[in-house]
C-alpha cells in the first residue's frame, strides 16, 4: 500500500475543514478526489504534503509516518506536488524552474530530459520567463517541475483550472502516459468532469470535509454518478 490516510482532521485558525478523512491509494494507481468548491480538496493535499499540519490523524506513505513532517522531508521521500494555481517562479526561465525541481528530493535519478519529451513546448521556450507564458503552458511547467525530480507519488491540485480545453486534454493524456511508463502513483483533485473520467481509475468524493463515497470501476464513466458531487 502506498498512501494511507487515517482519521485526518485539519483546518485553519481553529476552523475545521477536514473531518475524520480516511482513504488509501495503492502503488501505481491514479485516484481522483472530487467535490465542489470549498469542501476541503486543496486542504487535503496540503495536509498530505506537509504544508498544513493536521490537528489529529495519521498520514503514512509506504508504511512510514509522515504526519507533522515538513514538505522537504516529503520531497526526499519521492513525493511530488503540483499546487493549485500553478505557482511557477515567474521571473525565472522555464529551464531555471525545471532545475529547481531537479534539486528537490534525495535521489540522483532525474527526468530532466524526459519531461521535454512530454511537454515539447517547454523545450522550445526554455529561455522564456515563466511569468510570460500562457496559463496552460505554466500548468505544464508546474507539472514538469514536479516530475523532474522522479517522484514515486505525484499530488496534483486542479490541473484543469484556468487552462483551455485543448491543453487540458493534452495534460490529461500526458499524466496517464507518465503513470503507464513509470508507474508513478497519482493522486489528484478536480472538478472538471472530462479530466476525472479521462484520468481516474477510481475516485473518492468529498463533501463538507468528509469522504462520503468511493466511485470505482464503470461508475467512474457514469456522468450522473460524478455530477452528484460536482454540481452546486
Asked whether residue 123 is domain-assigned, the answer is no
- Please say whether the beta carbons of 199 and 176 come within 8 A: yes
Residue-averaged pLDDT of the chain: 92
Q: Report the pLDDT value the prediction gives residue 113, as an integer from 0 to 100.
A: 78
**Which of these ranges, 44-53, 76-85, 181-190, has the smallest mean pLDDT?**
76-85
Which pLDDT band holds residue 100 (cuts at 50, 70, 90)? confident
Residue 185's domain is classified under what CATH number?
3.40.50.300
Mean predicted confidence (pLDDT) in 63-86: 91
Give CA 3 to chain center in angstroms. Answer: 13
- Residue 28 sits at φ, ψ, to 5 deg, of 85, 0
Q: How many structural domains comprise the chain?
A: 1
Domain limits for position 193: 3-87+152-227
Asked whether residue 222 is domain-assigned, the answer is yes
Which pLDDT band holds residue 142 (cuts at 50, 70, 90)? very high
Asked whether residue 99 is domain-assigned, the answer is no
- Please say whether the beta carbons of 7 and 16 come within 8 A: no
pTM reported for the whole predicted model: 0.93
Q: What is the DSSP track for 46-103?
A: HHHHTSS--SEEEEEETTEE-TT--HHHHHHTTEEEE-TT----TTSBHHHHHHHHHH
Asked whether residue 142 is domain-assigned, the answer is no
Asked whether residue 111 is domain-assigned, the answer is no
CA–CA gap between residue 169 and residue 91 (Å, rounded): 27
Instruction: Provide Rg for the chain, Cα atoms.
Output: 17
Asked whether residue 18 is domain-assigned, the answer is yes
Condensed to tens digits (0 to 9), the pLDDT of residues 144-168 reads 999 998 899 999 999 999 899 989 9
Q: Report the pLDDT value the prediction gives residue 111, as an integer from 0 to 100.
A: 77
Which pLDDT band holds residue 66 (cuts at 50, 70, 90)? very high
Asked whether residue 147 is domain-assigned, the answer is no
Size of the chain, expressed as the number of residues it contains:
232
Asked whether residue 145 is domain-assigned, the answer is no
Amino acid at each position: 500500500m502506498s498512501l494511507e490516510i487515517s482519521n485526518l482532521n485539519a483546518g485553519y485558525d481553529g476552523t475545521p475543514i477536514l473531518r475524520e478523512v480516511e482513504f488509501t491509494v495503492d502503488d501505481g494507481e491514479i485516484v481522483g478526489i472530487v467535490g465542489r468548491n470549498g469542501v476541503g480538496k486543496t486542504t487535503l493535499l496540503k495536509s498530505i504534503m506537509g504544508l498544513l499540519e493536521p490537528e489529529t490523524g495519521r498520514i503514512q506513505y509506504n508504511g512510514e509516518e509522515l504526519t507533522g513532517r515538513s514538505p522537504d522531508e516529503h520531497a526526499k521521500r519521492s513525493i511530488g506536488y503540483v499546487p493549485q494555481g500553478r505557482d511557477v517562479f515567474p521571473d525565472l526561465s522555464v529551464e531555471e524552474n525545471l532545475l529547481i525541481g531537479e534539486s528537490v528530493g534525495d535521489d540522483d535519478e532525474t527526468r530532466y530530459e524526459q519531461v521535454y519529451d512530454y511537454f515539447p513546448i517547454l523545450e522550445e521556450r526554455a529561455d522564456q520567463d515563466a511569468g510570460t507564458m500562457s496559463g496552460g503552458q505554466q500548468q505544464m511547467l508546474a507539472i514538469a517541475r514536479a516530475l523532474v525530480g522522479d517522484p514515486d507519488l505525484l499530488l496534483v491540485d486542479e490541473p484543469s483550472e484556468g487552462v483551455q480545453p485543448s491543453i487540458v486534454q493534452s495534460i490529461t493524456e500526458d499524466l496517464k502516459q507518465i503513470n503507464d511508463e513509470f508507474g508513478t502513483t497519482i493522486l489528484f483533485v478536480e472538478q472538471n468532469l472530462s479530466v476525472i473520467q479521462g484520468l481516474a481509475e477510481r475516485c473518492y468524493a468529498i463533501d463538507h470535509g468528509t469522504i462520503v463515497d468511493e466511485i470505482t470501476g464503470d461508475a467512474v464513466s457514469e456522468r450522473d454518478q460524478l455530477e452528484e458531487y460536482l454540481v452546486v
